[in-house]
Structure 1
Amino acid sequence: MAVAALIMFATNVLVTKAASNKLDVSVGFLISVIVNCLISGLASGVQLVWQTSDFSWSLSGAISFAFAGIFSTYLGRWFFYESVVRLGSARASVFQVTSPAFAAVFAWLFLSERLSTIVVVGIALTICGLIVVASPARNANPKNGNHHSLLNIFSKGASWLKGSHVLLGLGSSMAYAVSTVLRGNGIREWNEPIIGALLGALAGLLVYLLTSRNTHLLFAGIRRANREGIWLYAASGMLTIVAQICAIASFRFIPVSLSNLITLCTPFIVIPCGYFLHKNSERITARTWIGAGLVFLGIALMIYMKE
């Protein structure tokens, strides 16, 4: 199930890249989340009709799934879509694999779990890898001035963060890390991955509609949108919700950290596929491969310590 989720998540990255060229991301986001609700709602209905055992309810599990949906379906996916548009599918997929690093930090902060030296080294390698992947090319003709003053250093750092769009990738990764922890808790409290995915999708859609100022314009935009773009974002919605169900279900059988590592190894598929499908239009260079290697090395160290 984790491997199936990996394949669907990786395919979604490529589909999202193609869809973003056809349709505005805000409209596409709404389409994909609506499809999330429709697919998971249909699957939940089929499950309730065909299951032979009595249906049980867990309030704590349902709350965990709902909040997980807010972090993944709403926050994580919005950041993810924006990062694919601005960074490209290959670089955006590298950011996704950093979720275990953030999950380890969150567990240290909120669950009092100990961070070993090797885990800290792994996190440091991951951050270095992201800097290598996302950093823009150096300017061959830098402007004159005091480049070593503290104010100038902070100014350059802020400009780099904004210009490289690295915050979008990090925001998506952190949101998915929080949702993973919540879903892991939810599946232990309430073993209903399909209905849990539905609750998460509904919660994410509700929060998006409540926080969007121009919701009516988005729905109007769907009616006027490029049909190919609509179908691509609908495919994205189908891929993400089925992948989520598979990933949540896998938590019941294997450790959350192991499942998370498998499902987030999308760069292994996305980078080579994106290179050939887009004819290297995203400028995948040796820097991208080196940075991705550092990220994977850091994640491998953290997973090794967990095992």
Structure 2
Amino acid sequence: MSGQGFALLAALFYGMAGVTIAKGRSTARGDNGVFLSVLVTACMSGGLWRLQGQTDASDLLASDALIPVAAFIAAGMFSMVMGRTTMYRATEQIGPVATSLLRRLTPVFALPIAFLILAEVPTWGTVLGAALVICAILIHIGRPTLVSKGAVDAGWAMGVASAVFYALSYALRSYGLDRIPDAAMGTFIGALAGLLWMQGAAALGPKPRARLHRLYVDQGRWHWLTAITLSGGQLCQFFALKSTSVVVVATLGSLEVLFTAFLGHALLGRTRIGQARIWLPAGLAAIGTALLML
């Protein structure tokens, strides 16, 4: 499968995950399955690495592997911990479609980050695509529907923060893959770093028993489905970054908005997902995506 194909498959997985996060919120007693999702990502990527990975564990001890491994660890912290946590909280506050639209800011933030870290110079088509994404988000934000202004403000802030964290992780992953081209291994290193950080922060903070319980308690069917789809999306993104640019991978995710809208309509109902005001922003995002495919 091509890099673009993996990127589109990742968008489908993330679209499904946004809807299942909203479904899982009603039964959540802890973090709504954030920790579970990172654990599943570690298991899936670790197993895939052992089955068909191109790098042995001993290779990671070489001196020239230090910097790319550090990049994978940093990417894992930005995506598995900070990116996922803010994405979950934004989805709970403003819904899956609005959160999915805000994640389309990722390529906008990825433009300067990729230029600084990877020296990738965007084309005019890429810049125009990013501009259309911004217009789509502004159209959607112009018609907020939630009653609680505090929840809206917090949700938007979390959604924008998630886009920034994912943009950083894309660039760092691509940097690491340029030096160690093993997507499954890179995903596993990042997920493992996220697991250790989340458990360590809980164990060393106040009320460690309650904080650790909060990590492990949510294991319902929607939490498991979210964990599996997020893990699949994470792996697909890594494989996509092996053969195409950071900005293309980030912007192809614009189709996540359409997937979220369709799946949300089926699972959440029209009133919960706000279908009437999603089509114009989603269409603009899709046009931006098409510009990158030319």
TM over 0.5: yes
- 1:44-99 per-residue CA deviation (whole Å, 9 max, x = no partner) reads 33346xx7999633222211111111110011100100111111111111122221
* Structure 2 residue corresponding to 1:261, chosen from 232, 251, 260: 251
Write the distance in 1 (CA, Å) between the matches of 2:253 and 2:71: 20
Structure 1's 161 and 14: CA in aligned 2 closer, same or farther, altered over 3 A?
closer
Do the aligned residues in 2 keep the contact of 1:73 with 1:204 (CA within 8 Å)? yes
- Kindly provide the amino acid, as one letter, of the partner of residue 203 in structure 1: A
Q: CA offsets, 1:192-240, max 9 Å, x none? A: 11111011011122233344435531433466x465x2x4323322322
Pick one of 26, 31, 36 that aligns with 2:31.
Answer: 26
Q: Match of 1:147?
A: none
The Cα shift of 1:116 comes to: 7.6
Q: Is the Cα–Cα contact under 8 Å of residues 22 and 92 in structure 2 kept in the other structure?
A: yes
Structure 1 stretches lacking a partner, 5+ long: 140-158
Are the counterparts in 1 of residues 183 and 242 from structure 2 also a CA contact under 8 Å? no
SS across alignment from 1:266: helix
Distance 2:55 2:86 in 1: 40
TM-aligned CA distance change 1:215 to 1:240, over 3 Å: farther
**CA distance in structure 1 between the aligned counterparts of 2:125 and 2:56, rounded to whole angstroms:** 46
**Number of matched residues?**
280
Q: Which residue of 2 aligns with 1:96?
A: 103
* SS of residue paired to 1:191: coil
Match of 1:56 among 15, 39, 59: 59
Is 1:197 matched up with 2:200?
no
Distance of 2:182 and 2:126 partners within structure 1 = 32
Q: In the alignment, does 2:19 pair up with 1:14?
A: yes
Distance 1:202 1:226, change over 3 A: closer
More displaced stretch, 107-116 vs 69-78:
107-116
Q: Which residue of 2 aligns with 1:36?
A: 41
Counterpart in the other structure of 2:7: 2
Q: Aligned ranges for residues 100-179 of structure 1 at < 5 Å?
A: 100-108=107-115, 123-137=130-144, 163=153, 165-179=155-169
Q: TM-score, normalised by structure 2?
A: 0.79
Aligned alpha-carbon RMSD (Å): 3.3
- For the 8 Å contact 1:129–1:290, the answer to whether it is kept is yes
CA contact (8 A) 2:96 2:273 kept: no
Whether contact under 8 Å (1:247, 1:263) holds in the other structure is: no
- Partner amino acid, structure 2, of 1:273: L
The structure that has the greater radius of gyration is: 1
State the AA in 1 paired with 2:105. T
Q: State how far apart, in whole Å, the 2-side matches of 1:7 and 1:119 are.
A: 21
- In 2 relative to 1, CA 102–221 (structure 1 residues): closer, same or farther, beyond 3 Å? closer
